[in-house]
Structure 1
Amino acid sequence: MTTQQLTPAQHTILAHAIEHTGGKIEWLPDNIKGDARKKVLDSLAKRALITAAGTEWLVSAEGYRALGLDAPQPDESAADAEALRKDAQKAPRTRENSKQA
């Protein structure tokens, strides 16, 4: 398996996000302005180097591999907490002293 070739701008953006913000894309070089910012982000997303998380962009596992790094593993406790939260949302609500009880 070969690693993807990155442009200097893509490499800089991914490296900065990994080193300074834990993988969150918050900074782009000053020479990338206007629509060029959107095009760079779209290019990274099309190559699966970043993923959308709501309104934010995060470096994906493929993005870490493109820089020759191992992607961080999510905490099992965080995954367990997320699973419990989803289960709690699925449980039907009942009200005491009502016809639903």
Structure 2
Amino acid sequence: MNIRVTPSAKEALQNVEQNQMIQLSFDRGSCDIVNTIYEMKIISKRSLQPYEKVVTVEDLEFIVDDDMEEVYDNELVIDHAAGAFVFKNHNQIFNNRVGLRYINS
């Protein structure tokens, strides 16, 4: 999975600490799978579930589901504009209102 974080998204994620990860989890109850990630969760580093893997982009670690590659055609660009994160690739914008939530653990 190729994840790219734009400079504006990197700036918006500057408070993510070394002991934290960014979790991108699908809402499996939705029919439209590419729009089912409505928020990124900042969590403490933890062990992975069998269906998860870690993708490291620069100094950020993302936990993603194993099937994320096929959903996003193996490419996800995370941008930030108008106070929200934007998920897109070279072909389309998937979701332009992805939020960010810090999970205390």
- Which TM-score bucket, shorter chain as reference? under 0.3
Relative contact order, CA 8 A, sep 6+: which one is greater? Answer: 2
TM-score by length of 2: 0.26
Higher share in strand: 2
- Choose 1 or 2 for highest CA Rg: 1
Give the structure with the higher percent helix.
Answer: 1
Q: TM-score, normalised by structure 1?
A: 0.27
